[in-house]
Every structure is written in C-alpha cells, then in structure tokens.
Structure 1
C-alpha cells in the first residue's frame, strides 16, 4: 500500500470585487480632494484593466498613488498590476492603462517548477494551465515548498490553495 500523496495548487488570482471597491474608493477621494478640484482626472475599470486619466503626468502619478493605497488596504497585491505607457489623451490629458494579471504565465510557471526542483525536496511540481500543482508524500516537505516560494522574490503574487 503506497503512502497517501498530498498536494496543493499554486495560483495567482486577484479578487476583482476588491479591485472594484478600491477603484470606487479612489474615484471618491479624487472627487473630494481639494488639489483635484476642476481636474479631469479619473479612474475606471473595464474587464481586466484599470484606466487612469490625469491632467498631466504629475496628476496622473497622484491618481496612481491614491489607487495603489486603496488596493493595498483591500489586500490586492501591487504585483498583480502591469503598467502600460503613459500616453496623450483627449483634451490635453494623459492616460495610462494598468492590466490586472490573473493566473500564472507559462514563463513564471517554469520558474516556479525549477525553484521546486532545485530545492531538492521530495516533491513533484507540474504546470496545469495557469497554475502549478505540487505533490509529495510528506506534508512537511510541501510546507517547506510554500515557505521557500513565499521567500523567493517572484514578480507575481502567489496563493496556495486546495491543500489536501
């Protein structure tokens, strides 16, 4: 009788409800702040993107700071954001699109699998779509993998789910 295998999945998901809440809070703050009176600055979310508009780059940076503060307060990792170029927009304003990254890219998944293999722990890691499954006989070794990945400075936010 083989020892029971345990496993968990490594995912990178963003709670879009929290993103919406943060965007609404940031929009309210911009509407109420004295330094934004008469400004065309705004924030909106459409699908997997947040679109920031500012009167100029200085105002756009202020809008970005407000948004980041609200996201962090709501538990959304800033690692999930991919900033586009700042570009001119209508009415002399500037616009920046921020993509919200969901899932683990193939490139990051390969990096995670390599880190797990290099750790010399007796576990297997396999890429499954936009997530990575790690399995092994020892729960202590699985927890060691989680600890190691939390300490690794990866450019994406990871969550560890379906631990069984």
Structure 2
C-alpha cells in the first residue's frame, strides 16, 4: 500500500549559513555603519542584537531574505519572541519551528478527512503518515496540504509505492 510521511524539518546548516550571510550584509550596509548590530547562531536559534527596534526589524528582514535565498521557508521562523532592552542594546531571539506539534497534526488529519479523500492519516509522534490504495490519491492529499495555509512549512518524504 503506498504511503508517505508529512514532516516539518529545517536544515540547521542552511540556517547557520543564512546567519553568516546576514552578518556579512549588515557589516557592508551603509545604514548599519558605526552601529552595534550583529547576528549570532547558537543551538538552532539566531540572536539579533541592535541599537533600536527599527534596526531589529531591518535585521529580521535581512535574515528572512537570506533564509529564502538558502531554500528555507520563512514561515518556519518563530518571530513571536519579545524584545529585551538592556541599556542601549535591543536583543531578540529568533527560533525555528521544527517537528509537527500534536494540535497541528490533528489539524492536518482533520483537513484530509474533510476533503473526503480515499486516504488514511495517522499521527506518529512528530510526523503524520498518510496511506492510500492509489498513488493518485496520495498526490491529491499532497495538493490539498500545499494549498492550505497552516502557518508551518511541511515536507513530504518517505514516499513508498
């Protein structure tokens, strides 16, 4: 029986490279000249340090642009963290969403069932396995999930025929 897994993964090496590229761009930009502004990659998170909230927003745009160029989905960036203000420095930590949480997995299963596709979806830890009798049904399920706005990037792997 054909099946595939729905996962949400990011390549941490690409995140590190995007952070290094963003650091290089900040060091060469005119509006950041003579200003303390930096990116630091550590354990799957990126710490941004700047001298103002406006600079942090610009730095976030730079990082988002570099992640997109490296093939990372900007929707995987967790930008909900608050800004810490210490003296004249503003600090923000950007995390990356990895793995499918239980409520998101339930939402995916519900979405597949609402479309009345001839497939079965089951939650298996931090991934969702979809099985069906025909390959076309599985591809139709992939299309439904790609068109849905779930707020988290999804990848389809482990496709077995």
TM-score (norm 2): 0.96
Aligned counterparts of 1:58 and 1:75: Cα–Cα separation in 2: 26
Could you say which residue in structure 2 is the equivalent of 1:126? 122
Gaps of 5+ in 1: none
Could you say which residue in structure 1 is the equivalent of 2:85? 88
Counterpart check, 1:45 vs 2:45: no
Could you say which residue in structure 2 is the equivalent of 1:136? 132
Could you say which residue in structure 1 is the equivalent of 2:109? 113
The one of 13, 20, 25 equivalent to 2:9 is 13
The one of 117, 142, 156 equivalent to 2:152 is 156
Aligned counterparts of 1:34 and 1:43: Cα–Cα separation in 2: 17
What displacement does 1:61 show? 1.0
SS across alignment from 1:43: strand
Q: Which moved more, 1:40-49 or 1:140-149?
A: 40-49
Paired residues, number: 159
RMSD after superposition: 0.9
Counterpart check, 1:35 vs 2:31: yes
Task: Decide whether the 8 Å contact of 1:44 with 1:51 is kept in 2.
Answer: yes
Aligned counterparts of 2:116 and 2:54: Cα–Cα separation in 1: 49
Aligned counterparts of 1:127 and 1:39: Cα–Cα separation in 2: 48
SS across alignment from 2:159: coil
Q: Which moved more, 1:5-14 or 1:116-125?
A: 116-125
What displacement does 1:119 show? 1.3
Could you say which residue in structure 2 is the equivalent of 1:71? 67
The one of 61, 79, 99 equivalent to 1:103 is 99
SS across alignment from 1:29: helix
Deviations 1:13-70 (A, max 9, x none): 0111111111000001111112111111111111121111111011111111111110
Task: Decide whether the 8 Å contact of 1:48 with 1:101 is kept in 2.
Answer: no
TM-score (norm 1): 0.94
Gaps of 5+ in 2: none
